[in-house]
Structure formats: C-alpha cells, structure tokens
Amino acid sequence: MTFPIQEFKKRYEKARELMKRKNLDALLITEKSNYSYFTAHRTIGWTTKTRPIILILPLEGDPTLVIHSWEIGNAQSSCPWIKDIRTWTDLPFNIAPLLEPLRNLNLGKSKIGAELGYEQRLNMPLDDFEKLRRELPKTQFEDASEIFWKLRMIKSEAEIKSIRKACEIASEAIEKTLEDVRKGMTEREIGKMLYIHMMELGADRPGVAAICAGPDSYERESQLPTESIISPGNELFIDTGCVYNEYWSDMSRAATLGKPSEKQKEMHNLFQEATEKHIEMVRPGVKASDIVKSCLDYVRRKGLKTWGVGRMGHGIGLDFTEPPSITLNDTTSLEEGMVLTIEPGTITPYGVFCTEDVIVVRKDGSEMLTTAPRELQEIRQSV
C-alpha cells in the first residue's frame, strides 16, 4: 500500500516552490524517508548499504531514479510515472549513473540541494559524494534540510490516515499484551508478544519496544528487552511503535503486576496530568519551546524533575522522530497538519513514568491518534 500518483505530484509541486526560493536546480535524494516521501518504490534494499537508492528531482521535468538493476522491476511497477531510470549492475556502487542526469540539469553549473544538514543523512559513501563534487566542479551542492523538513513536517490527510492506523495498531497491541502478561515472564517474552500482536493487527512491521519490568531496568529505559523478570509490585513500562504504510506510531503505557503502590499511583497521575495539560496547549501558532517552558514549570512546582532525554516530545511521520523537537531551543511555531508526541517523564527506583501520545495539530487545537487507556493498569498475578 502507498499513495495515489496525485499525492506524489502535489509533493513535487510543493518541493519545486521551495526550490525556486533557494535557486536550486534539483534535489539529490538518497535517504530512505525522503525517498519514500517522493516515490512509491518500497524495497528491502534499504537493509543493505551495498546498493544506494537515489532520486533526482529537477526543478523542471521528470524525476530520475538511479538504482541497481536488481531493483528495476520493482521500481517500474510501483512508480510507472517515473520513466527515467538509470541503473548499474557491477558492485561496488559507482557514481557513473548519476553523472549524466546531473550534468544535463544546467550544463554542469547547477545548484543542487542535498541531505547535508539538520537531522539529515546522505545514504551513499562520503567518498562517492566527494567524487561527485570533483566530477562536477561547477556544480554547487547545498544543504536542503530546510526544504525537506518544511515539506515533511506538515502532513497531508493521506499521511495522517496512515499514522492514525499505526497508532491504532500499537494501542491495541499494548492492550492485548497487558492482558497476556503473567508473573515470571521476561521482558523478551513480553516484547515478543507485543510484536506478534502488532503483526496480527496489520502492521507492516513492528518498530521498537523499550520494555522495563523491574528496578534493574528502570535506569536503562532505552534498552532492548532483556531476560529481566517481572515480579509482583514491579511496574511494567512499554515504549513502543510500529510502521504502517511507512509511517510510524510512538507511544508509552505502564502497568503494575498486582496492585500499584501509592508512590506509583501518585507519580503516574502527576506525569499523566502533565501530558494532558500540555496537549491542551497544542494549537497553531504556539511555539514548541513554549510547551517545554510550561511543562518544566509544572514539574518543578510539583518538586519533581524530568528524565534526561533532551526533549519532551517530537514530530513523527516517515521517521520515528522528526522535527519539530519539543525543546527549549526549538522555537518552531506549530502549524495545522503537524503530527507530534508529547512525553514529559521521569525515572524513579519504583518505575518509569511517562504517558506518551501522538496528536495532530488541528485548526482549533489537536486530535488524539493514540487510543489505549492512559491510566496505570493492573496486571493480574495468576500464572
């Protein structure tokens, strides 16, 4: 599943408007998420660094794909509107198929935007990129990260539909997993159940699962699941997401094995309230940094501190995390169509406390996409 050709053509039009403002002749697109934004070509080829997958989007004229010959059938069937496909066969990759279409842009004197800046990566060897510069000495390669993020931060309704589905799948998978957890299970067993539920519910693939099931795990919240066992009184914290039609979900929920302690209930409620309070702030025109300032003030007034993850939320879409960042340093004004998470949290000796949700910025506020219950759940202890 992907999008109709009209969706991609709208993206090309918007990109070209921004390219004109920057006096760019083309965009050189090598990174998976940017490539997926501009094409319907979906491939397992991204799992290897052997065969770069590249799109050239010119200011005028049709796009060009530069791909290994192994990809030709897949690319032609998924992107029938892209007629100019350059290939190579022998490994390793070389820049030869790139040179002619780039030289044709403007007699070798082009200005080309590339993935050189904020939260961007070139998906080709740096040596090859430097060879490209040497072969095109009159061509200027400039950072186009501002263009990529201006396009991708504002989601179309078709994109939001995919994110909504990914959130529904992750939400239901968490609910089913918490129903299935029993005393004595390991984090790895819980993670396996979570992934199975995601796939059964229609995810293209499970994404991430950070699972903390006891005091020896709480301070390692970003770890992959271990053999640590959940015991009575432990909090089980799940931070997870899945991928649907290339778009991500990201959410966190918590439960205790047996009845929660008063400390666990109090801390969960405080940070759930912090999340809800600051989701209410979300609307067009509000700065990302203003949300953080308010949230920090709330947490400090409660005599608490937040975890050291560097921010209290982020954009989400084709990447698990995207701009804007909900940080003190990000003064981006929120716009209708942005999709965000809000996630103030903290780590204590008795649990990880964060209720992360995904929301869409709407004209008069926000729309919640995650659907799982936000209360601290109680897992029955019977085997």
Which helix (H) or strand (E) is 299 found in, with range? helix 288-301
Which pLDDT belongs to residue 304?
A: 82
Render pLDDT for 72-92 as a digit per residue (tens, 0 to 9): 999 999 999 999 999 999 999
Indicate the SS3 state at residue 269: helix
pTM of the model: 0.96
pLDDT at 123 over 70: yes
The residue type of 292 is: V
Q: What is the CA radius of gyration of the chain?
A: 23
What are 25-71's pLDDT values in tens digits?
999 999 999 999 999 999 999 999 999 999 999 999 999 999 999 99
- Domain 5-153 belongs to what topology? Creatine Amidinohydrolase; Chain A, domain 1 (3.40.350)
Class of the domain covering 157-379: alpha beta
Give the pLDDT confidence of 245-260 residue by residue, as tens digits.
Answer: 999 999 999 999 999 9
Strand spans (E) along the chain? 26-29, 54-58, 64-68, 84-88, 111-114, 140-143, 205-212, 235-244, 247-248, 251-257, 313-315, 322-325, 339-342, 346-348, 351-353, 357-362, 365-368, 377-379
Distance between CA 42 and CA 132 in Å, rounded?
A: 26
Q: Convert 3-36 to b/e letters by CB count within 10 Å (16 or more is b).
A: beeeebeebeeebbebbeeeebbbbbbbbbbbbb
Burial track 331-347 (b if 16+ CB lie within 10 A, e otherwise): ebebeebbbbbbbbbbb
Q: In what order do the strands lie in the sheet with 365-368?
A: 322-325, 313-315, 339-342, 357-362, 365-368
Confidence (pLDDT) at 383: 47
As a whole number of angstroms, the distance between CA 33 and CA 30 comes to: 9
194, 206 in Cβ contact below 8 A?
yes
Domain boundaries, the chain: 5-153, 157-379
State how far the Cα of 81 lies from the Cα of 218, in Å rounded to an integer.
50
pLDDT of residue 381: 67
